[in-house]
Structure 1
Amino acid sequence: MNVSVEEGGPGEPDDSGGAGEAAPRPLSARSVVLSLLLGAHPPELAVKDLVRLVEPFGVGGSTLRAALSRMVAAGDLRRTDAVYSLSDRLMARQCRQDDAVRPGTRAWRGDWEMLLVTATGRGPAERAELRARLTALRLAELREGVWLRPANLDRALPDDLAEIVQFWTARPEGHPRELAERLWPLDDWAATARSLLAHVTDSHRPADRLAAFAAVVRHLITDPVLPPALLPADWPGEALRAAYAGYRRRLTGAAGGGDA
């Protein structure tokens, strides 16, 4: 079983602070449970395993059972006999998290993905939802309605986007690296990543480390995953992923009965 950490979602509590915080708050019982299930493939765990796994994070048996009941009632989890699994909504979130930690890339030959939003008459909520979707696809807005990114991701765009955007590949004018710096706050992202790396190194209690790596995952989700030629020197993205992978391996050992 792979064990992962929860990342915040729209309309849901975010117990660890924002991605830019290097000293996130401890996670709640709910977040500890979701962190474990989001990393499980398939995303399900028996109660007896959850009781053992959450104990190092300061979550007792009665607190766990109360949290599980609330999560089932809220639609976060499903229960089958003594086994809990993620709901469909949170399984989609697991896919986003997996992609953040292990994004698929391909060789970049200089082309950029470009999207032009063509739908009109849409309300503020619909526009905000579309912006969130395009941002999650690691696109950035050059100007209103025009989104782009280097064509180095090994992924297809969702079919339903064809109803509201035009898509093509091109090579924008100007220096690609200058364009990347205009589209993404790369220096700020790198500074936060280095702060998170320092924080996870200094965190020793299991609960503190889980909270710290929850912030790591949220920050990795915002990584634009640019080609190396467009990144600043000493980009810490891979170091952050390697730190998380090492933590996950240790937690996997704990899930098998070892120490976290």
Structure 2
Amino acid sequence: MADQQRQAEASPDEDASASIDAAFVAVLEHAPPRAAAFIVTLYGDVAAPRGGELWMGNVIDACSERGISETLVRTAVSRLAAAGQLVGERVGRRSHYRLTPAARAEFAAAAAILFSSAAPPKHWLLVRPREGMGEEELRRAGWAALGGGLFVASERPDIRAPSGLLMRCETIASIDDLPAFAAERWPLGEHDAAYRGFIARFAPLELTLAQGAGLSGGRALALRLALVHEFRAVVLRDPRLPAAALPADWPGREARALFANLYRRLSGSADAHIGRHFVSAEGALPAETPETRRRLDALG
């Protein structure tokens, strides 16, 4: 009876706190991500727009929020360094790791996809490869086999094309047949399911934040990293076809809008937390930079 009375007398602030606690747990309760993949997300979201370098202690703490142990973090960082993505530097008793130039270029390309307000492509590319990329690599890059050594992809700014005969084409008739054609050539069902899974995981958080629930800076950053990690995994695999080639209920549009809204909502507190707690060899990282502002502006 007393418990029921206390629940009935709970203040709006207590209700909001309980709501955000539940939303936080719901987003982060999934199994921890792979250490190397999550560190890539951390560097892409936090370090890349602020000079590309982080103190190892910050990396360990951020990964700990996702249940990744210090041992796994150190092993993953060593492997990323061996792979040419990170370079280590010791300053006193502290280790710092920064992105290599090649990794920075790769991260910039991924950021251009994540933080894009560009309209979907309208045209297509055909290629008959001469050498270089194998068929599996072409498929991962968004190309689909047509037979006779030809491959087709949407004309995206980021598309990787092999050397060989490359042609630009457009649909001029029977445009209603495009969705069936696309479904035959690309595993759109897999991408559809991935987008819907992303929406199911993060839509409740959007609702909670829309109701005015507050977040600490540390929680805001943890949630934003989870958001970026999951959306990155989905959108970078998407062939991003012209809208006319997709089903009317394609969830990619809703997922991108959800990502943009949540990223904007979380960024004020998350970026302030970064400015207070994250450091490089040169000192505290800035809360904001021209690049962080550009990313937010690109989301609309």
User: TM-score, length-normalised on structure 1?
Assistant: 0.64
Q: Quote the offset at 1:107 in angstroms.
A: 7.2
Query: Quick check: 1:53–1:254 contact (8 Å CA) kept in 2?
Result: no
User: CA deviation digits over 1:92-134, x for unaligned, max 9?
Assistant: 442442243245745766x4322223x2xx6xxx552x64146
Aligned ranges 1:1-260 → 2 under 5 Å: 25-39=31-45, 40-41=48-49, 42-59=51-68, 64-65=73-74, 67-69=76-78, 71-81=80-90, 82-102=95-115, 105=118, 111-117=123-129, 119=130, 128=134, 131-133=136-138, 135-136=140-141, 138-151=142-155, 153-154=156-157, 161=162, 163-171=163-171, 174-175=174-175, 176-201=178-203, 214-245=229-260, 246-247=262-263, 249=267, 251-257=270-276
Q: Quote the offset at 1:51 in angstroms.
A: 4.5
Q: 1:207 to 1:59 in 2, by over 3 A?
A: farther
The amino acid that maps onto 2:144 is: A
Query: Quick check: 2:227–2:259 contact (8 Å CA) kept in 1?
Result: no
Q: 1:29 to 1:188 in 2, by over 3 A?
A: closer
Q: Which structure 1 residue ranges, 5 or more long, are not aligned?
A: 1-22
User: CA deviation digits over 1:5-38, x for unaligned, max 9?
Assistant: xxxxxxxxxxxxxxxxxx9641244443322112
Q: Which structure 2 residue ranges, 5 or more long, are not aligned?
A: 1-28, 206-218, 278-300
The amino acid that maps onto 1:166 is: L
User: TM-score, length-normalised on structure 2?
Assistant: 0.57
Aligned to 1:20: none
How many positions carry a matched residue from both structures? Answer: 223
Aligned to 1:10: none
Q: SS at the partner of 2:153?
A: strand
Q: 1:105 to 1:131 in 2, by over 3 A?
A: farther
Q: Quote the offset at 1:254 in angstroms.
A: 3.9
Q: SS at the partner of 1:164?
A: strand
Considering Cα pairs closer than 8 Å and 6+ residues apart, tell me whether 1 or 2 has the greater RCO: 1
Aligned sequence identity (%): 23
Once residues 54 and 192 of structure 1 are traced to their aligned partners in structure 2, the CA distance between those partners, rounded to angstroms, is 24
The amino acid that maps onto 1:214 is: H
Q: Quote the offset at 1:189 in angstroms.
A: 1.9
> Root-mean-square deviation (CA), in Å?
4.0
Q: Which runs of 4+ in 1 moved over 4 A?
A: 59-67, 103-109, 155-158, 205-213
Q: 1:201 to 1:69 in 2, by over 3 A?
A: same
